[in-house]
Amino acid sequence: MLTVAAFLFAIGLLIAVHEYGHYRMAVACRVKVLRFSIGFGKPLFSWRSSGSATEFVVCAFPLGGYVKMLDQREGHVPDDERNLAFNLKPLRVRVAIVAAGPAANLVLAVALYALVNWSGVQYPAAVLASPEAGSIAASAGLIGGQRVERAGLDGAELHDIQSFEDLRWLLTRGAVERRDAHLLVAGPAQGQRGDVLLRLSMIDAADVDAELFRRIGISGPFTQPAIGTVMVGGAADKAGLREGDVVRAVGAVAVVDAQQLRQLIKASAESGSSTATVWRIDRGGAEIEIVVKPVPQQEAGRWVGKIGAYVGAAPELVVVRYGVVQSVWQGLLRSWDIAVLTLRTMAKMLVGGASAKNLSGPLAIADYAGKSASMGVTQYLLFLALVSVSLGVLNLLPVPALDGGHLMYYLWEGVMGKPVSDTWMELLQRGGIAVLLVVMSIAIFNDINRLFG
């Protein structure tokens, strides 16, 4: 129920903001707006403000909306209202009205990011977990427990890294843009500092997913290798492990963090059977040894070891908060970065450099909406900001039937001195709708695979 409510609110808000951008610009440019609709299909309810020419409508199918303006191409325009018709306005006015919708979504995203930055948000600290063997991070010499203080991509200055989220975003950009990342790390021993180069340019980042970060070797923040909830009758329970035990070594292998411990447990049963191993445990300051035998289980077509206990303590958290002006600036930077990354990823999809699996549709958005809402207001606001940027950018693409397609027509009109002919307009609109249907079909297919595959 939370997922449905969070999704409907998100879609309704983002569409309303988008259409309100068109509406307000049209009113400001003295264009008569006949209808402001959220959704398509049968109207559920409608109203009209006193003295207003605009009918406001909420319809049954919520995935979209429109602003209907007085226009000679869509109906008769009385002589005394010709100055209020959209199609008779100067080119610059029509461009401003069409561009105002995507612009409103981008402004909303900046405002939401600014609000979160100003109010403060908790993120895991930028302390690295132990990298997987053979990953880029392992090859660069990272061992886990190191804190990233500053970082930057090739050709850019290093900047402060305040949280693991900052680092993850920088690595995403580096992988997509195929630019190496430079890290200034400290620790884990006091006084240790060093520069680390991550060769992200070597990665073919077709998909931005969990597998990408496993290949980089930085998939999560550092967590203590502590035992959490222990299942009754499981391997951990039979061995005598208790909640709060901190694992220092598995056999002859010293354990750095929870990620390494989970890898060791899984790898213990790769052959379909496992052997008992002596674990060195820190229990309340006293070191003891316990013999543990993980249970082999099938997972994604391969054998892995399981101990029947939660592995890993909560990561170190930091509160990231900015002043008012800096919050807005950070909101602008994050919105710009997401917009650029979205466009670059889509461009790579067109030339085969990125997988179409990166496309997400309404099912995935609904799932993310529910998950973010369950995590609290801050995470939900961040989700809304991300989708708002994406909606703004996608609507500016030069695809007929989108706002960007109309801007493309106006560009032609500005260059050639005459509008696109009705014949070409109809052909392009049909082609644009066909493209959108294909993209939406792929996105929904991806959603089904992610959620049910």
Query: Which residue is catalytic, options 19, 74, 157, 426?
Result: 19
DSSP reduced 3-state for 282: strand
Q: What residues have CB less than 8 Å from 44, skipping those under 6 apart?
A: 58, 59, 60
Respond yes or no: is residue 157 known to be catalytic: no
CA separation for the pair 268, 270 (Å, rounded): 6
Q: Is 248 exposed, middle or buried (0-12, 13-18, 19+ CB in 10 A)?
A: middle
Q: Read out DSSP for 388-451? A: HHHHHHHHTSS-TTSHHHHHHHHHHHHHHSSPPPHHHHHHHHHHHHHHHHHHHHHHHHHHHHHH
DSSP reduced 3-state for 236: helix
- What is the amino acid identity at position 98? V
Q: What is the crossing angle of helices 403-416 and 91-119, to 10°?
A: 140
Q: Which two tokens stand for residue 357?
A: 């699996």
Q: Which two tokens stand for residue 188?
A: 């884990």
Q: Going by DSSP bridges, is the β-strand pair 55-69/295-299 parallel, antiparallel, or unpaired?
A: unpaired
- 199 neighbors 174 (Cβ within 8 angstroms): no
By residue count, the chain amounts to 453
3-state SS, one letter per residue, for 187-199: CCCCCCEEEEEEC
Q: How far is CA 192 from CA 116, 144, 151, 418, in A?
A: 34, 13, 17, 67
Nearest to 343 by CA among 165, 156, 106: 106
Instruction: For residue 379, count other CB atoms closer than 10 A to its CB.
Output: 16
Catalytic residue numbers, as ranges: 19
